[in-house]
A and B are shown apart, each in its own frame.
Chain A
Amino acid sequence: MDLQTVTYLVVGASFALYIGIAIWARAGSTSEFYAAGGSVHPITNGMATAADWMSAASFISMAGLIANMGYGGGLFLMGWTGGYVLLAMLLAPYLRKFGKFTVPQFIGDRFYSKTASTVAVVCLLTASLTYIIGQMTGVGVAFSRFLGVSSDTGIYIGQAIVFLYAVFGGMKGITYTQVAQYIVLIAAYLVPAFFISLQLTGNPLPQLGLGSTMAGTDVSLLAKLDLIVKDLGFDQYTTSIPGSTLNMFMYTLSLMIGTAGLPHVIMRFFTVPTVKDARSSAGWALIFIALLYTTAPAVGAMAKLNLHGTVNSAVGLETNAAGKLAVNPATVKANADLYATESSLQYEQRPEWMKRWEKTGLLKFEDKNGDGRIQYYNDKTKDADAKAKAAAAGWKGNELTVNADIMVMANPEIALLPNWVIALVAAGGLAAALSTAAGLLMAISSAVSHDLVKNVFAPSISDKNELLVGKISMAVAIVISGYLGLNPPGFAAGTVALAFGIAASSLFPAIMMGIFSKKMNKEGAIAGMLAGLFVTLFYVFAHKGIFFVKGTEFIDLIGGPNSFFGITPEAFGAVGAMVNFIVAVVVDKVTKEPPEHIQHMVESVRIPRGSKLVDGAH
């Protein structure tokens, strides 16, 4: 069977499974729709949280960015896992004890103010929508290559499917669908990684393979990769950082705080039966997440090595008799000349996968020196050696452009793995994007229908109409995010990082102070959220355009890109969070204490005894 047929079969089968589960587990009551009736086991919940969490950014985009960034890519790895420690200790058990099912509900009750909960809804919607834009970008990449449609069409198909099961399933349906999606996506990630690690190092475990020697040699894989990329003028793989150390620090911190402040993740901890389960649930989620996150650095590094090895024979990889990419120990040990004319791959002899990706426009070749060969190197290098060698070899600039978002999807093709593996990766990428989009839509719909319409505008709304409003708001969110996804502000992972910054600067500090500071009052919390959200959005929109609409950037107003101590907009959430804390504390000091009953409520939230089933009552 050819690749296209296998892909249709595997992707089709996985979709049938998800939709089947969604129909089987259709929600009856509002409580089931939003919180699965509080009946989900911690391990099941952990797996669903992992699927919810690991989005297109984790699955499709992250390893590619790590391949580009090297060591600095660790900020995604630590940032998107370290936040779980904060979540498990600072928020999850207390919010579970509180016993309501949305984040704005907690903020509204704790700060005894409908204004506070409305501000929280605004923060939630901004963060979630930005996040979904990143998902839609990922869906577009996945469909464009594997179903042979344009990236735009891919986004439309994705919108329709997300809408279908988010609307019909509700939280319970989503929880079980997400368990299935987790299994599909983790298999899709690990299987090719096993194969590739085995090919390159002889060790099938990518976590160990990355720290091993290349098969048949005593040359360490990372040392070899360092040597090759440095010789070609790129930054050394194991030490390169994005911008400054300060920026890496703030970027990591933003992602961590954002993780703990993202409403669609926090919501998951409302679905476990007890406070005790809420604590360990985060640990289970992190185990399932770590399976992918500890594999990703190996996928990134090995994909980079394979890519260089494909276009430059001096790297020491060759296609063996079985048609797989394999290590040639002699060439690896000899450190052959990367700049020799014969080393660069002839364009006419490029492998099939390159031709397939060229069609999507995400991989491009331009023969700048007209020799019919592909020269892939960093032509903007400051390294005098690399410059001199390139000039002596008659290279006239880098000729291959590879979009970072295709690295994972193309990875099994680059390694020349069997068709079923390639098809599986397509199904996995879609599972990742769709599961997260569905979780985000749940958060959006509950915020609009429950926290805005029922709480503020129409308290007497019936259960049935409340669900209807929720479904309508999902549809609106899908349309908006799809529209912005056609013209995204960056790679999937970069866009998603912005969403984390927004959550970090607005929601996390308010929730945390609500639990850990008995005296924090509504004036402080509201002022803090607004200040944090405002400075972060101001800095982000200055770089990326107002609501990410191209052409509305106002970068000059803030004195050029990254003008705040060299911090990039993706890393700015940590600064926003600090502003939030400071403003909240100052305003709190000059306004009056929260009423007695609120202080008692905080005391009761802090102890586990007396936890009850989640309900939506105000």
Chain B
Amino acid sequence: MENNSASGYWKATLGLLTKILIIWFVVSFGAGILFAPALNSISLGGYPLGFWFAHQGAIYIYIALIFWYAKKMGDIDRQFDVHEE
């Protein structure tokens, strides 16, 4: 594999990681902690929304993030032809 595609692959990987980490941070520390008091004025069923993020919602989003990451990385692997045989 030539150097160009190696650095391109790593750049694409880091780009994906950055996107996911931003969502991860906003959900956990934004919605779940820093803005939870503000979100609590909205209710989701019987849940105040900020409370729901900290006790339920964040966890569902983490699962989605990991599978999304696994799928996207598979795409990037193939695009740069570095996937396992």
Interface residues of A (CB under 8 A from B): 66, 71, 73-75, 77-78, 81-82, 84-86, 88-90, 93, 207-208, 210-213, 220-223, 238-239, 245, 248-249, 252-253, 256, 274-276, 279-280, 282-283, 286-287, 290, 293-294, 297, 603, 606-611
Write out, one digit per residue, whether chain B residues 9-39 have a CB within 8 A of any chain A CB (1) or not (0).
1100100010011001000110011101100
Q: Known contacts A211-B44, A239-B37: does B29 contact A252 (CB below 8 Å)?
A: yes
Determine whether B42 belongs to the interface, using a CB cutoff of 8 Å to chain A. no
CB distance from A320 to the nearest CB of B (A): 23
Query: Are B37 and A88 in contact (CB-based, < 8 A)?
Result: no
Secondary structure call for the B interface: helix
Query: Are A82 and B28 in contact (CB-based, < 8 A)?
Result: yes
Query: Are B59 and A293 in contact (CB-based, < 8 A)?
Result: yes
Q: Name B61-77 residues within 8 Å CB distance of A.
A: 62-63, 65-67, 69-70, 73-74, 77
Query: Are A249 and B29 in contact (CB-based, < 8 A)?
Result: yes
Query: Are B10 and A606 in contact (CB-based, < 8 A)?
Result: yes
Query: Are A245 and B59 in contact (CB-based, < 8 A)?
Result: no
- A-B pairs, 6 with minimum CB distance: A74-B54, A220-B46, A283-B66, A211-B45, A297-B55, A279-B70
Q: Known contacts A74-B55, A78-B59, A293-B59: does B13 contact A606 (CB below 8 Å)?
A: yes
Q: How far does the alpha carbon of A77 sit from the alpha carbon of B27 in the complex, in Å?
A: 13
Q: Known contacts A249-B29, A283-B67: does B59 contact A81 (CB below 8 Å)?
A: yes
Q: Which chain A positions have C-beta within 8 A of B77?
A: 276, 608
Closest A residue, CB atoms, query B73: A279
CB distance from B25 to the nearest CB of A (A): 9
- Identify which of A78, A84, A274 contacts B66 (C-beta below 8 A): A84
Given contacts A71-B54, A81-B58, A608-B82, list 13 more A-B pairs with CB under 8 A: A75-B54, A82-B62, A84-B62, A85-B24, A85-B62, A222-B46, A239-B37, A239-B48, A249-B29, A256-B28, A286-B63, A606-B10, A608-B83
Query: Are B6 and A607 in contact (CB-based, < 8 A)?
Result: yes
CB distance from B5 to the nearest CB of A (A): 10
Q: How far does the alpha carbon of A239 sit from the alpha carbon of B45 in the complex, in Å?
A: 17
CB distance from B29 to the nearest CB of A (A): 6
Q: How far does the alpha carbon of A220 sit from the alpha carbon of B36 in the complex, in Å?
A: 19
Closest B residue, CB atoms, query A222: B46
- A to B CB contacts below 8 Å, 28 in the list: A71-B50, A71-B54, A75-B54, A78-B28, A78-B32, A78-B58, A81-B58, A81-B59, A85-B62, A85-B66, A88-B66, A89-B17, A89-B66, A211-B45, A211-B46, A212-B46, A213-B46, A220-B46, A221-B46, A239-B37, A245-B33, A252-B28, A253-B29, A279-B66, A283-B63, A603-B6, A608-B82, A609-B1
Query: Are A607 and B46 in contact (CB-based, < 8 A)?
Result: no
Q: Which chain A positions have C-beta within 8 A of B85?
A: 609
Q: How far does the alpha carbon of A558 sit from the alpha carbon of B10 in the complex, in Å?
A: 44
Q: How far does the alpha carbon of A71 sit from the alpha carbon of B37 in the complex, in Å?
A: 11
Interface residues of B (CB under 8 A from A): 1, 6, 9-10, 13, 17, 20-21, 24, 28-29, 32-34, 36-37, 40, 44-48, 50-52, 54-56, 58-60, 62-63, 65-67, 69-70, 73-74, 77, 82-85
Query: Are B24 and A249 in contact (CB-based, < 8 A)?
Result: no
Query: Are A252 and B33 in contact (CB-based, < 8 A)?
Result: yes
Q: How far does the alpha carbon of A93 sit from the alpha carbon of B24 in the complex, in Å?
A: 19
- Identify which of B66, B69, B84 contacts A609 (C-beta below 8 A): B84
Q: How far does the alpha carbon of A275 sit from the alpha carbon of B65 in the complex, in Å?
A: 18
Query: Are B66 and A286 in contact (CB-based, < 8 A)?
Result: yes
Q: Which chain A positions have C-beta within 8 A of B66?
A: 84-85, 88-89, 279-280, 282-283, 286
Q: Which chain B positions have C-beta within 8 A of A248?
A: 33
Q: Known contacts A606-B10, A607-B82, A608-B83: does B51 contact A238 (CB below 8 Å)?
A: yes
- Identify which of B44, B48, B56, B65 contacts A294 (C-beta below 8 A): B56
CB distance from B3 to the nearest CB of A (A): 9
Q: Which chain A positions have C-beta within 8 A of B32?
A: 74, 78, 252
Closest B residue, CB atoms, query A207: B56
Closest A residue, CB atoms, query B67: A283
Q: How far does the alpha carbon of A90 sit from the alpha carbon of B13 in the complex, in Å?
A: 10
Closest A residue, CB atoms, query B51: A238
Q: Which chain A positions have C-beta within 8 A of B47?
A: 210-211, 222
Q: Which chain B positions have C-beta within 8 A of A274?
A: 84
Closest B residue, CB atoms, query A79: B28
Q: Which chain B positions have C-beta within 8 A of A276?
A: 70, 74, 77, 83-84
Q: Which chain B positions have C-beta within 8 A of A223?
A: 46
**A89, A207, A239, A256 — most chain B CB neighbours (10 Å):** A89
Closest A residue, CB atoms, query B45: A211
Query: Are A297 and B56 in contact (CB-based, < 8 A)?
Result: yes
Query: Are B65 and A85 in contact (CB-based, < 8 A)?
Result: yes
Q: How far does the alpha carbon of A212 sit from the alpha carbon of B60 in the complex, in Å?
A: 19
CB distance from A73 to the nearest CB of B (A): 8
Closest B residue, CB atoms, query A603: B6
Closest A residue, CB atoms, query B32: A78
Query: Are A71 and B51 in contact (CB-based, < 8 A)?
Result: yes
Q: How far does the alpha carbon of A608 sit from the alpha carbon of B69 in the complex, in Å?
A: 15
Q: How far does the alpha carbon of A294 sit from the alpha carbon of B84 in the complex, in Å?
A: 35
Query: Are B36 and A71 in contact (CB-based, < 8 A)?
Result: yes
CB distance from A7 to the nearest CB of B (A): 31
CB distance from A231 to the nearest CB of B (A): 19
Q: Which chain B positions have C-beta within 8 A of A78?
A: 28, 32, 54, 58-59
Query: Are A88 and B83 in contact (CB-based, < 8 A)?
Result: no
- Identify which of A74, A245, A275 contacts B84 (C-beta below 8 A): A275
Closest B residue, CB atoms, query A609: B82
Q: How far does the alpha carbon of A82 sit from the alpha carbon of B40 in the complex, in Å?
A: 21
CB distance from A244 to the nearest CB of B (A): 11
Closest A residue, CB atoms, query B37: A239
